[in-house]
Structure 1
Amino acid sequence: MRLYATQRRLFRNITTQSLSSKSQRQRSTQLNCLSLFQNCKSLLHLHQIHAQILKLGLQNNPLVLTKFTSTSSDLHAIDYASSFLFHPGVDTHNYDTFLFNTVIRGYAKTSDLKHCAVNVYCFMVRNGVLPNKFTYPFVLKACAGVGDLRLGKQVHGSVLKLGFEGDLHVGNTVVHMYGCCEDAIEDARKVFDEMPERNSVTWSVMIGVYMRLGLSVYAVELFRQMQVAKVSPDEFTMVAVVSACGDLSDIELGKWAESYIEREQIHKSVELCNSLISMFMKCGDVEKAVSVFRSMKERDIVSWTSVLSGLGMHGHGKEAVSFFEEMKGAGVTPDDTAFISLLNACSHAGLVDQGRFYFKSMMDYGIPPKMKHYGCMVDLLCRAGLVQVALKFVESMPIEPNSIILRTLINACHSQDQVKLNEVFTERLINNEPMHESNYVILSNIYAKLSIWENKYIIRQMMEQKGIKKNPGCTMV
């Protein structure tokens, strides 16, 4: 009996050592696999690591799968990871919340795959995996990206059910979600008002919602409430506030915002300086806008384009051309928006030759002209009185002219022999936009100017029959 007990104790020790050794080998294998992800810089390398995961039998290890998913997301290959994780034959019962969060985050960061983040969330809930407070910000961001208010409300309901409404980060994304969905501004404000705690991000999100909807007055008013609440704004808040000042053309408020930024020593990021440039240009202070640009330590293409657009808006065509050449000299490659601003500046200043030159030079930068570029050229030629040249230009366009181009041509054709041409263009406009009152008014005014009263009366009758009314003009000082 004593010998038997000794043998049993010896066998137990050997078994324990064997199991311990096996556990150590598994841990070592897992660590070695995880270390492979540190130097993964390409999709090919990721495929090789994937093969090693399968070879080592780690395809059901949540930690390895989470790292694999995170790396796939960094390489913009979240779809590849998802196809492996959620393959029909794969057992998903070992998948935890952290793994699902990683997949949802990867999809939420990808602009054209945000709907997949919502699908993964629904799959997660159906399989009995409970979301946590880190799940909802990404799901709500995805709902905002696709603009699905119905689904967003369902997710919000889940937030309330699980008791995460008090989490600051979750609350901020709920406000953002409602703000991105159509006709949900009241829901966004209600959530904002009911939040037990708010930080500068919360206020910035709500101010940004108002700005996105063009409600600049409400954005400024909310900023004033933010100051009363003694919450210090950050640079993102001030970007929205400065943009609101520009939309309202409130130069005094804009100057106050700039001095407030200086006084509170708010970081003047490139985005904030761009907003200041745009604001001063919209308010008519061209000199101040250029001064802000000159003071910038770093600039991007938006900085240059903002100045170009403002100079063109105020008729400083020659200065815009000089500025454009300076931009090229600084090594900044112009984009299609920069060319729109430049062509618009040439149009307002009557610089026909320069406008033609820069329009042709777009192809040197690999930028094919779009409808807005063609529209700028038609406007340039019509303003210079070159109506026949503009007509030939429109006929040579590889795309059908839009309503704006047609209206520009109609307004440029004032002589008696161009009435038939106006009628042709207006007929095309009416076919494209049968309920747009300006299409009828333009032709009616031309008939009145040429004293063709009978045709003017016919146009007015057509408007009455279709129930179209001319919007009354107004002037605001």
Structure 2
Amino acid sequence: MERRVAVILQKCKKGKQVKQTHVQILINGLKGSNFLAIKLMTLSSEFISLDYAAKVFDDLRTPDLISYNPLIKCSIGSSIRVATTTYNRMREKGISSNSYTLTFLLRCYESFNKFELGERVHGHVLRMGIASGLFVMNTLMDLYAKCGGSLDIARKVLDEMPERDIVTWNTMIRTYMSNGDIDTAVKLFESMPDRNLVSGLAKIGNMESAKRVFQDREHGIGCSLIQC
């Protein structure tokens, strides 16, 4: 029955359909199914409301990490309260966060420009030993750059990262460019281990200035960057 209801949920395209399927879940005694709750929460937040999704979560008897994460994710751009409350409940229950938990939480705080809340999560990240997680650190760096307006803190995160990927470099370079610090952006670009992987730099900030600087410094590499 659980699988059958899951198939029905996948076909839901309207709030009314989601509610009707939810009724079937309740009638069939499946309200405690974490598997169905994950799908139902996502659809509820999209077609009904985040509060409705939160009520679905509250019906779970034994929520696990995989069921906490979707509710925090659904809170991005919608509710700091739901995201924070859900995260705190996790901690109270002794359920350990993973990189997805913290990334979703940071994105939620970023969507509301809550720099100080991001700092608190940063502290949790360091204490939990997830500081080397690329997803988390890239998101944290992005939050500091966008919300706090603090390039120094964002750069400190970059400098302390033991591992970096193309998103890491692009995020910091884009941040310098959008703040008008083209010279530092170029210096950072020149320090990259593989500059040919950079993409879309000119989409952020002043395109003409970026094109001119990168062409001058890289003797043509700037052209390929603009066309990426």
Query: Above 0.5 in TM-score?
Result: yes
Amino acid at match of 1:239: K
Counterpart selection for 1:216 from 182, 188, 196: 182
| Residue 230 (str. 1) matches residue 202 (str. 2) | no
How far 1:237 sits from its partner (Å)? 3.2
Give me the whole-angstrom Cα distance separating, in 1, the residues matched to 2:48 and 2:170.
29
Change over 3 Å in CA distance of 1:254–1:75 after alignment to 2: farther
1:32-43 matches, cutoff 5 A: 32-43=4-15
| Residue 85 (str. 1) matches residue 53 (str. 2) | no
Counterpart selection for 1:239 from 203, 221, 225: 203
SS state at 2:130 partner:
coil
Give me the whole-angstrom Cα distance separating, in 1, the residues matched to 2:21 and 2:52.
13
1:301-380 matches, cutoff 5 A: none
SS state at 2:79 partner:
helix
Counterpart selection for 2:221 from 260, 264, 287: 260
Structure 1 partner of 2:62: 94
Amino acid at match of 1:141: R
Change over 3 Å in CA distance of 1:167–1:250 after alignment to 2: closer
Give me the whole-angstrom Cα distance separating, in 2, the residues matched to 1:147 and 1:202.
20
Give me the whole-angstrom Cα distance separating, in 2, the residues matched to 1:52 and 1:178.
45
Amino acid at match of 1:236: G
Change over 3 Å in CA distance of 1:151–1:57 after alignment to 2: same
Count residues in correspondence: 227
Contact (CA 8 Å) 1:124, 1:130: kept in 2 or not? Answer: yes
TM-score (structure 2 length as normaliser): 0.86
Give me the whole-angstrom Cα distance separating, in 2, the residues matched to 1:202 and 1:48.
44
Amino acid at match of 2:213: L
SS state at 1:40 partner:
coil
| Residue 124 (str. 1) matches residue 94 (str. 2) | no
How far 1:190 sits from its partner (Å)? 0.8
Contact (CA 8 Å) 1:101, 1:134: kept in 2 or not? Answer: yes
Where structure 1 has 5 or more consecutive residues not aligned to the other structure, the ranges are 1-28, 268-477
Change over 3 Å in CA distance of 1:152–1:251 after alignment to 2: closer
1:393-438 CA distances to partner (integer Å, 9 max, x unpaired)? Answer: xxxxxxxxxxxxxxxxxxxxxxxxxxxxxxxxxxxxxxxxxxxxxx
Structure 1 partner of 2:75: 107
Contact (CA 8 Å) 2:182, 2:210: kept in 1 or not? Answer: no
Contact (CA 8 Å) 1:72, 1:80: kept in 2 or not? Answer: yes
How far 1:181 sits from its partner (Å)? 2.5
Contact (CA 8 Å) 1:46, 1:72: kept in 2 or not? Answer: yes
**Which of structures 1 and 2 has the larger relative contact order (alpha carbons within 8 angstroms, sep 6+)?**
2
| Residue 67 (str. 1) matches residue 26 (str. 2) | no
1:167-207 CA distances to partner (integer Å, 9 max, x unpaired)? Answer: 11111111112112325322211110011111110011112
Contact (CA 8 Å) 1:200, 1:231: kept in 2 or not? Answer: no
How far 1:261 sits from its partner (Å)? 5.6
| Residue 158 (str. 1) matches residue 124 (str. 2) | yes
Give me the whole-angstrom Cα distance separating, in 1, the residues matched to 2:13 and 2:174.
36
SS state at 2:99 partner:
coil
Contact (CA 8 Å) 2:68, 2:86: kept in 1 or not? Answer: yes
Change over 3 Å in CA distance of 1:244–1:135 after alignment to 2: same
| Residue 135 (str. 1) matches residue 101 (str. 2) | yes
Contact (CA 8 Å) 2:65, 2:97: kept in 1 or not? Answer: yes
Amino acid at match of 1:65: A
SS state at 2:189 partner:
helix
Amino acid at match of 1:61: S
Structure 2 partner of 1:51: 23
| Residue 201 (str. 1) matches residue 129 (str. 2) | no
Percent identity between matched residues is 29
SS state at 2:196 partner:
coil
1:274-313 CA distances to partner (integer Å, 9 max, x unpaired)? Answer: xxxxxxxxxxxxxxxxxxxxxxxxxxxxxxxxxxxxxxxx
Change over 3 Å in CA distance of 1:104–1:255 after alignment to 2: same
How far 1:47 sits from its partner (Å)? 0.7
Amino acid at match of 2:28: L
SS state at 1:181 partner:
helix
1:422-457 CA distances to partner (integer Å, 9 max, x unpaired)? Answer: xxxxxxxxxxxxxxxxxxxxxxxxxxxxxxxxxxxx
How far 1:66 sits from its partner (Å)? 1.0
Give me the whole-angstrom Cα distance separating, in 1, the residues matched to 2:139 and 2:211.
32
Give me the whole-angstrom Cα distance separating, in 2, the residues matched to 1:95 and 1:263.
49
1:7-57 CA distances to partner (integer Å, 9 max, x unpaired)? Answer: xxxxxxxxxxxxxxxxxxxxxx11111111121111111010111111011
Change over 3 Å in CA distance of 1:263–1:245 after alignment to 2: closer
Contact (CA 8 Å) 2:141, 2:157: kept in 1 or not? Answer: yes
Counterpart selection for 1:149 from 106, 115, 121: 115
SS state at 2:13 partner:
coil
Structure 2 partner of 1:471: none
